[in-house]
Amino acid sequence: MSEQQQLTVEQHRDKLMNHEYDGIREYDNPLPFWWVGIFIVCIIFAACYWVYYQMSGRTISAEHEEYATELAAWKKLRETILAKSIKVTPQFLAKLAASKSDMAKIKPKFIDKCKACHLPDGGGLVGPNLTDDYQLHGTDRMGLFKTIRDGKPAKGMQSWSPVFKPLDVARLAAYVANLRGTKPAKGKAPQGEKIGPYLSLKAAQKGETPAPAKGETPAPAKGETPAPAKGETPAGETPAPAPAKKGATEKTAPAPAKKG
């Protein structure tokens, strides 16, 4: 290497700065252009952000108001959608359960979405056994419908209403109810409380309602007055006087004065 070339190399060699920390020295090199560019952009963004939120009068409360407005609009939209959706009743679910065409339509969807937790035959895996006489939530098809529609996040059960149409959610509840009494290949141990039979199609056509859950009071028939609670007086009747305490003397009317 010639003397001129060696001088050029020395001029371009990294230069060490004078300071030293614990035996560590630092090169005096410029920062990469892309790093300096990002740094400048961040400074510009921070300045604009500060002006927008601190100088324009926009505050955190304004953001809360904007969120409240958007939430109100979403609730209104949800009410509109629910108003157009079907009305699910125990009678409606009983009719769906008796419909072979509805059950045939929903069966593939049950197998596709529910087999991971309940197995294709409903025997139960992570989720409960759907073929026995026990139910974790509710005592009728409506309990199944609400569980499928709203989910049970605390127990790992997601809400299926964002995935299925309202009619399919109802069909799914009816299909799950029809699994009761079937014989799975490997049934999981019972979970929940033992329940009675579901509302039959014949009873649904008559307008009957399912039997009340344990501890509930049955709803009065149309035109009937609900039975009074224990210790209450039926409406329109005068309560009987309380019995006198032991040792108490009843007040009597004074005897008429004798003539003369």
pLDDT tens digit string along 44-71? 999 998 888 777 766 666 778 888 899 9
Q: Residue 249: how many CA atoms within 13 Å on its side-chain side?
A: 3
Q: What is the 3-state secondary structure (H, E, C) of the chain?
A: CCHHHHHHHHHHCCCEEEEEECCEEEECCCCCHHHHHHHHHHHHHHHHHHHHHHHCCCCHHHHHHHHHHHHHHHHHHHHHHHHHCCCCCHHHHHHHHCCHHHHHHHHHHHHHHHHHHHCCCCCCCCCCCCCCCEECCCCCHHHHHHHHHHCEHHHCECCCCCCCCHHHHHHHHHHHHHCCCCCCCCCCCCCCEECCCCCCHHHHHCCCCCCCCCCCCCCCCCCCCCCCCCCCCCCCCCCCCCCCCCCCCCCCCCCCCCCC
What pLDDT, in 10s, does the model give residues 207-220? 666 655 555 554 45
What whole-number percentage of the chain has pLDDT above 90?
42
What pLDDT, in 10s, does the model give residues 217-241? 544 544 444 455 455 555 445 555 5
pLDDT band at 251 (very low <50, low <70, confident <90, very high): very low
Domain extent listing, the chain: 1-77, 90-205
The rounded mean pLDDT for the chain is 79
What whole-number percentage of the chain has pLDDT above 70?
71
Segment among 107-111, 178-182, 220-224 with least mean pLDDT: 220-224
Instruction: Identify the pLDDT of residue 209.
Output: 66
On the question of pLDDT at 93 being above 60, the answer is: yes
Choose between 230 and 76: higher pLDDT: 76
Measured over the CA atoms of residue 134, residue 139, residue 145 and residue 147, the dihedral's sign is: negative
On the question of pLDDT at 244 being above 90, the answer is: no
Choose between 7 and 161: higher pLDDT: 161
Query: What's the rounded mean pLDDT across residues 136-140?
Result: 91
pTM for this model (two decimals) = 0.52
Vertex 27, ends 22 and 31: CA angle to 5°? 125
pLDDT band at 107 (very low <50, low <70, confident <90, very high): very high
Segment among 109-118, 134-143, 176-185, 250-259 with least mean pLDDT: 250-259
Alpha-carbon span 73 to 10, nearest angstrom? 70
CATH fold of 90-205 reads: Cytochrome Bc1 Complex; Chain D, domain 2 (1.10.760)
On the question of pLDDT at 34 being above 90, the answer is: yes
Mean pLDDT comparison of 8-12, 156-160, 238-242, highest-scoring range: 156-160
